[in-house]
Amino acid sequence: MRGKALEAVDSAGVVVRQDGAKTVVELFGDWTVETIGASDGALRRVEETTAPGDIVIDLTRLGRIDTAGAFIIGRVTRRCGEPDGDFHFIGDHPTARRLIEEVRARTTVCADEPPSTFGFGKALGRIGAGLEAMFSEILDTLGFLGRTMMTGFSSLFVPSRLRLTPTIWAMEEVGVNAMPIIATLSFFIGAVVAYMGANLLQGLGFSVFTVELVGIAVLREFGVLITAIMLAGRSDSAFTAQIGAMKMQQEVDAMRVLGLDPFEVLVLPRVIACTLMAPLLTFGAMIAGIFGGMLVAWSAQDISPSLFITRFHEQLDWSHFLVGMSKAPVFGLVVAIIGCRQGMQVGGDVESLGRRVTASVVQSIFAVIVLEALFAMLYLELGI
């Protein structure tokens, strides 16, 4: 009996009566989340049949009330899409009036809008937002490049500000440690190009032109392109993760407190290393790609290595090599700038670090492809 008495709760009840032109809604019992279920239907019928201005709430017999009860009571004089109606009360209650008004001010009775279907307007909105974000990223990256260049020029006049140890370390990470994977990929790219030439040219009786195909493709395009993409995927992500981790641990802020410029300590060494090592990696990629094409030409088309090298030397001039090498430092600079900038934008959580690493790789590869297309059009117009 004692336990049953402790659990007893007065159920919420409602009586609706007419008083002239007004509809009086008399509430009794406790209006809490445990008790309001049975009375919700009666209040909804009042909402459907009575104008908000004709409803009067009688609080004389109201017991306890919480926010759930206050919400459904306050809902009686509210309609979705219309201004909330005035609340008319009779009777006294220590907390009900204030609680109902507070809940009305902070809630809505409109149902959640269903997810909009994909339409022309939404598509234009997404395209516009994407273009705005893209141009904002381009402007921020150009600003970051400008600040890095100013830091580099100032280091030329004050050589003691140039951090040689971090620069040499970054050159080892970017160049020496990346050479095996870049050479391997270029070897297979050269082999694939040679196989394509064998299938296409052998049937026409021009299999010997595989030498020119491999040489031009590797020297002008694939050597530098594979190098840049590997720098974007390997070194660029490492730059972002390294600088981003320091940002998360507030080490970059500590540098500023100590009077150190993060651009001198973190950004400039990585940019110099990537810009200087990109041509060397490109040269190694070219050698590996030509070697792969030569082996395939030897095995699939009986073009001996001596004939391959002789024809390569006779038919191809230095312009193809110089075209490829001229792109390498530009690609290295762009990749390093994007990676370091994204690292400096990392917030204080791991999720931000993951987003920035992904963005740095995607933006770097995108920039490399766009620049490759621009270089191709430029050299085409110059006749090189």
pLDDT at 6: 35
Q: How far is CA 246 from CA 253, 255, 339, 358, in A?
A: 9, 10, 14, 17
Residue 28 belongs to a domain: yes
Asked whether residue 302 falls in the same domain as residue 174, the answer is: yes
Query: For the chain, how many structural domains are there in total?
Result: 2
**What is the spatial distance between Cα 97 and Cα 85, in angstroms, rounded to a whole number?**
15
- Which pLDDT score is estimated for 45? 82
| 151 shares its domain with 97 | no
Overall pTM surpassing 0.75 (yes/no):
no
Q: How many other CB atoms are found less than 10 A from the CB of residue 313? A: 11
Same domain flag for 187 and 85: no
Let me know if residue 112 belongs to a domain: no
Residue with tokens 């994977």: 181
**Which domain does 44 fall in, by range?**
9-106
**Boundary of a domain, candidates 57, 76, 106:** 106
- CATH number at 27 reads 3.30.750.24
Residues 174 and 244 in one domain: yes
Statement to judge: residues 192 and 100 lie in one domain:
no
Q: How many residues does the chain have?
A: 384
Residue 215 sits in the same domain as residue 362: yes
pLDDT value of position 272: 93
Is the separation of the CB atoms in 281 and 222 below 8 Å?
Answer: no
The answer to whether residue 113 is domain-embedded is no
In-domain check, residue 131: no
- Looking at the fold, whether 76 and 158 belong to one and the same domain comes out as no
pLDDT score for 4: 35
Q: What is the pLDDT of residue 2?
A: 36
> Side-chain half-sphere of 305: how many Cα atoms within 13 Å?
4
Check whether residue 160 and residue 78 sit in a common domain: no
CB 73 within 8 A of CB 40: no
The per-residue pLDDT for 72 is: 79
Question: Would you give per-residue pLDDT tens digits along the chain (384 residues)?
Answer: 333 333 344 677 888 888 777 888 888 888 888 888 777 778 888 877 887 777 888 888 888 888 888 887 877 777 665 666 666 778 778 788 888 888 877 777 666 555 555 567 778 888 888 888 888 888 999 999 999 999 888 888 888 888 889 899 999 999 899 999 999 999 999 999 998 887 777 777 777 888 888 999 999 999 999 999 999 999 999 999 999 999 888 898 898 898 888 898 899 999 999 999 999 999 999 999 999 999 998 888 888 889 889 998 888 888 899 999 999 999 999 999 999 999 998 887 788 899 999 999 999 999 999 999 999 999 988 888
Could you tell me if 45 and 158 lie in one domain?
A: no
Tell me which residue has tokens 């989340």.
33
14 lies in some domain? yes
Residue 333 and residue 378 in contact, taking contact as beta carbons nearer than 8 Å: no
- 266 Cβ neighbours under 8 A, 6+ residues apart: 166, 243, 246, 252, 255, 340, 343
In sequence order, the β-bridge partners of residue 13 are: 28
Q: Is there a domain that residue 249 lies in?
A: yes
Q: Are residues 151 and 102 in the same domain?
A: no
- Residue 62 φ/ψ, nearest 5 degrees: -70, 135
- Sign for the CA dihedral angle at 95, 97, 102, 107 comes to positive
Residue 53 lies in a domain: yes
151 and 27 housed in the same domain:
no
C-alpha to C-alpha distance for 285 and 182, rounded to whole angstroms: 6
Q: What is the pLDDT of residue 209?
A: 84
Instruction: Say what the pLDDT of residue 111 is.
Output: 61
Query: Quick one: pLDDT at residue 3?
Result: 35
Query: Do 203 and 343 fall within a single domain?
Result: yes
Q: Are strands 55-65 and 13-19 parallel, antiparallel or unpaired?
A: unpaired
Q: Which two tokens stand for residue 321?
A: 């090599």
Q: Which of 106, 129, 159 is the last residue of a domain?
A: 106
Contact 197, 213 (CB under 8 A): yes
